[in-house]
Amino acid sequence: MTQSDLDILGQEFRRYFPVNDDPCFIDLVAAIDEADKALAAEEREEQ
């Protein structure tokens, strides 16, 4: 979340945990996207 996001949420939103950019995260998201595509294709084939 950016500081702007936190500002929009207001002062009541207090629990957030900053994280560093990690190139592995991009790989994880790509793997999840591929798994979703494969599952959708499998479900279409079963119909």
Integer Cα distance of 26 and 28 in angstroms: 5
**Nearest to residue 17, comparing CAs of 1, 5, 40?**
1
pTM over 0.75: no
In tens, the pLDDT along 4-28 reads: 888 899 888 888 887 777 778 888 8
Structure confidence at residue 13 (pLDDT): 85
Integer Cα distance of 21 and 27 in angstroms: 12
